[in-house]
Amino acid sequence: MEDMLFYDRLQFAFTITFHYIFPQLTMGLSLMIVYFKWKFLKTKIEKYNNAAKFFMKIFAINFTMGVVTGIPMEFQFGTNWAKFSELTGGIIGQTLAMEGMFSFFLESSFLALFIFGEKLMGQKLHFLTGFLVFLGSWASGWFILATNAWMQHPVGYEILDNGKYVLENFSALFTNPWLLPAFLHNQMASVVTSAFVMASIGAFYILRDKHSEYGHLFLKTGVIFGLISSVLVAFPTGDWNAKNVAKYQPGTFAAMEGIFETEEAGAEIVLIGQPNMVEKKLDNKIAVPNILSFLTYQEWHRQIPGMDQFKKEDLPDNIPALYYSYHIMVGLGTIFIAVMALALFFLWRKKLYTIKSLLWTIMFLVPFPYIANITGWYTAELGRQPYLVYGLLRTSDGVSPTVSSGNTLFTLLGFVALYLLLGLLFLILVGKTINEGPTPKPH
């Protein structure tokens, strides 16, 4: 039983981690493509149109990857988490089905139109199709976050005698106080990823002295979008989420902040330290007193409950992993703001395109927003443990009763092998597209 739970969780974690590499780029990128297309409509400068079409190519590759790795996500609710699906399907099935029906269809149909239909439709309609792709991908995020919000903070439900969760109030699913902050935070984080990808491609073109006209455009756009979104990820959206965790999941809050013992006179904020689960303390801790109380409640001496106030079986089961995920996300987010602010400063001084060290830095920073996005999700998901539906349904009670651990390990190994291949091909393909550059080929 223990084994089974472990492999089921590992398989879901692995497949969702790999899947989320792709949507985080497409959501942010669709916004930036709409921006380029709008710029082109306004200025009639061909460069902007080529930029929009170039990034739609990269979008399309990512979208394909997102589709083929996304179908297994939907299926795995049933295959590996049958009991969870049976009990809560009447509720989360709503938002998941709406995602498929409204946003996924919208995105995929209009993506095809955007790619094939420019000549046929004229520029204004072409802009509209791009906008609908953006709308579809963000609506997709909205429905998935609504699903996750319900698991983090269940609302609008009733539990029957047989343990089933039935929907009592449909609109509550979308007015869930967890949803809006989580959605905005997630969307801003996806803009960070796409802005860094764009800036990185720009820096690459400039350093290589190839397609440099586009290099300048991509770098500049990437830096501007990157700074705005990096700031918005932290404040107000990140702050808002942290306050929600403190309010609705206080045990999780203590664990992710690394507060083992409650301090009467206000909680410190931990910058560095390794959780020592045997002695229940942080090793090599560097912390600033009272800041956490202030950030969370705007009161210097407000008491924040530490992990000592909760029963072990109600706290997340992997506290170090949760703590590291959270701190990696926050640390990287801070670095993003610093680098992008520096880049914007030099852009303003008209020196950015010539400072090689900064260009190299921006180029090589590209994996880190992905890591920040994924550790952010780990924070949310590890933080919700040991529950699937916070406070109500334990993760161990949600697995498929008839699927043995041997079968799950078999499919996990298969997914690992297949996704390794998929990842390699993806890199080759994106590399090829970037190498060819945005200048249209003469037909």
Q: Which residues bind another protein (CB under 8 A)?
A: 57, 60-61, 63-64, 67-72, 74-75, 77-80, 82-83, 85-94, 96-102, 104-106, 108-110, 112-113, 115-117, 120, 166-168, 170, 400-404, 407, 410-411, 414, 418, 421-422, 425, 428-429, 432-433
CB of 181 to another protein, least distance (A): 24
R_g over Cα of the chain: 23
Distance CA 213, CA 50 (A): 12
CB closer to another protein out of 95 and 221: 95
Q: Per the structure block, which two tokens stand in for 155?
A: 């609302």
Cis peptide before 236 (omega within 30 of 0): yes
CB of 20 to another protein, least distance (A): 16
CB closer to another protein out of 82 and 344: 82
Phi, psi of 280 (to 5 degrees): 55, 55
Distance CA 159, CA 138 (A): 31
CB closer to another protein out of 404 and 439: 404
Q: What angle do CA 353, 359, 360 make, to 5 degrees?
A: 155
CB of 399 to another protein, least distance (A): 9
Scored b (16 or more CB within 10 A) or e, 325-363 reads bbbbbbebbeebbebbebbbeebeeeebbeeeebbeebb
Distance CA 276, CA 305 (A): 19
CB closer to another protein out of 63 and 353: 63
Q: Which secondary structure element, helix H or strand E, spans residue 281, and what is its range?
A: strand 281-288
What's the length of the chain? 443
Q: Which secondary structure element, helix H or strand E, spans residue 287, and what is its range?
A: strand 281-288
CB closer to another protein out of 91 and 219: 91
Sequence-separated (6 or more) residues with CB below 8 Å from residue 425: none
CB of 362 to another protein, least distance (A): 26
CB closer to another protein out of 170 and 300: 170
CB of 386 to another protein, least distance (A): 21
DSSP H helices, 349-388, are 356-364, 367-384
CB closer to another protein out of 228 and 418: 418
Other beta carbons within 10 angstroms of residue 161's beta carbon come to: 5
Helices (H) and strands (E) in the chain, counts: 16, 6
CB of 396 to another protein, least distance (A): 16
CB of 186 to another protein, least distance (A): 20
CB of 129 to another protein, least distance (A): 10
CB of 24 to another protein, least distance (A): 19
CB of 95 to another protein, least distance (A): 9
CB of 364 to another protein, least distance (A): 26
CB closer to another protein out of 99 and 381: 99
CB closer to another protein out of 72 and 181: 72
**Ramachandran area for residue 163 (φ above 0: left; ψ -120 to 50: alpha; else beta):** left
Distance CA 427, CA 387 (A): 36
Using an 8 Å Cβ cutoff, are 181 and 194 in contact? no
CB closer to another protein out of 67 and 271: 67
CB closer to another protein out of 106 and 254: 106
CA proximity to 430, closest of 18, 143, 15, 25: 25
User: Which residues does residue 379 pair with via DSSP β-bridges, in sequence order?
Assistant: none
CB of 79 to another protein, least distance (A): 5
User: Helix (H, G, I), strand (E, B), or coil: what is residue 389?
Assistant: strand
Q: Which secondary structure element, helix H or strand E, spans residue 394, and what is its range?
A: strand 393-394
CB closer to another protein out of 214 and 378: 214
First-last CA distance in the chain:
61
